[in-house]
Amino acid sequence: MPIFTPAGFARPETPRPTPSGLHDFAAPDTLALFVGEIFYPVLGTRLADHSLTKKQESRLHAYQERRDALVNEIKDALLALRPKDPTTRIAVLEELGGRHAPRIEALEKEAVALRDELMTSRFFEKEINWFTRRIWSFDNTDINPDDLPVVEAQVIRMAAYYQKGVSVEQRGLFEETAEELKARGRINDFPGDLTALADEVFEFGFDPAPGRVRTAPSLSAALKDALDRYTRDNSILKKEIRATVIAHADESEKKRTAAFAAFATQQHAAITALALQAEEIRRMMFPPSAPPGAPKRENSAAAFTCRIALFQIGLSPAQRRLLFSAGLREIDLPLPAGERLARFPDRLFPTGEIPE
C-alpha cells in the first residue's frame, strides 16, 4: 500500500521501520491541492491504486470549493482593511472570525469524515490505515537507538493523519513534534533565560502549528519573557504528545481511539491558552499600527499567506489553521510531484523574522 505524506515516509508493510526511506514513486499531482489536509495520505493511496469513486471525487470537489471560498473571504477582507485604522481592522477581523466559526468547524468535521470514508475498507479490501497495516511494533522490533527518534517521528506523524480521536487543534502540534524529532532527535527546548540569546537567532514553533519563526538578536525584556513562557508551554504539550503516541502505538485501534479522545480533552485547555499567548505575542511583535509588510523573498505570494496566518492580529485560531494550510498548498503547487517529496520538509515551516 503506497503511503504519501508531505515528508515522504515509507510504506508500513515492512518487517522493520524504515526511518529514512522515501517512496520509490512520485505522489499523484492532485495531492498538491490538499497539502495540509488530514486526508492527504489516504487520498494519495486511493489515487495511486485508482480506487477513488466518482461519489468521493464529487465530495472532495465540494469540500475544496467550500474551503477555498473561506480562504478567499479572509484574503479579500484583509485587502479591504489595509487602509483602515488599526482598531477598525482588528474589530472587523474578530467579527469575521465569529461569523466564520461555524463554517470552519463544519469544514473541519467534513475533512475528518472524508478521511474516515477514504480509510474504510470495501469488499475484501483491507482498511487503508497506516497503523493497522504496520507489521512491526516497538515491542517486537530491535530498533537501532540512533534511529529511534526518527522512527518515533514517523509514528507521531502518522497519528496526526490516521489516528481517530486526535483533535483538529492537536494535529499541527503532532506534525511539529514529528518534525523536531526527525530533524534534531529531540523536542526543542527554549532556554529558560532568553538573555542568553544576545548574539544568537533561535527558531521555534509558533501558532498555528506547525509554523515556525525566528527571533531577532535583540528583543525587549517583555517580549523575551512572553516567548519564554510560550515556548516552555509549547514544549510541554509536544512532550506529552510524544509520550502518549509511543505509549499507545502498539495497542488495538479501539484502545488507541479511546486513549486519544481522552488525551484531546486533556490538552484542550492548554492548547486554547497557548493560542491566547500567541495572540499577545503578535501584539507585542507587530503593534496594531503596523500591519504585516510586503511579501519577502521569492515564493512571496505563498509565503505571505503563511505569514498572515502566523502574524496577523485579530484572526481566530481556526482561520489561522485554514490560511496556513492554504499557504502550504500554494508553496507546493509549482513543484513537480517527485521533487515535492524531497523538498517539502525544508519548506514545511515558512519562517518570519520578528522585528527588533
As a whole number, mean pLDDT of residues 186-206 equals 59
Average pLDDT over the chain reads 79
Distance CA 4, CA 43 (A): 9
Q: What is the pLDDT of residue 332?
A: 45
Cell of 285: 511583535
Q: What is the pLDDT of residues 102-121, one digit of tens each?
A: 999 999 999 999 999 999 87
Position 52 pLDDT exceeds 80: yes
How do residues 260-316 score in pLDDT, each as one tens digit?
A: 999 999 999 999 999 999 999 988 877 665 544 443 443 445 566 777 888 889 999
Q: How far apart are CA 217 and CA 78, in angstroms?
A: 30
Helix, strand, or coil (residue 205): strand
CA–CA gap between residue 351 and residue 11 (Å, rounded): 30
Please give the share of the chain, as a percent, with pLDDT higher than 90. 41
Cα separation, 45 vs 11, whole angstroms: 11
- Between the ranges 16-25, 203-212, 303-312, where is the mean pLDDT highest? 203-212
Q: Which of 322, 293, 296, 290 is nearest to 309 (CA)?
A: 322
Terminal Cα distance for the chain, rounded: 49
Rounded Cα gap, residues 343 and 298, in angstroms: 16
pTM score: 0.84
In this predicted structure, what is the pLDDT of residue 345? Answer: 30
Distance (Å, whole) CA 107 – CA 318? 10
pLDDT of residue 142: 78
Backbone angles phi, psi at 212, to 5 degrees: -135, 150
Count of beta carbons in the 10 Å neighbourhood of residue 17: 24
Burial 43-61 (b: 16+ CB within 10 A, else e): bbbbbbeeebeeeeeebbe
Mean pLDDT calculated for residue range 185-212: 65
Residues paired with 353 in a beta bridge: 214
pLDDT of residue 283: 87
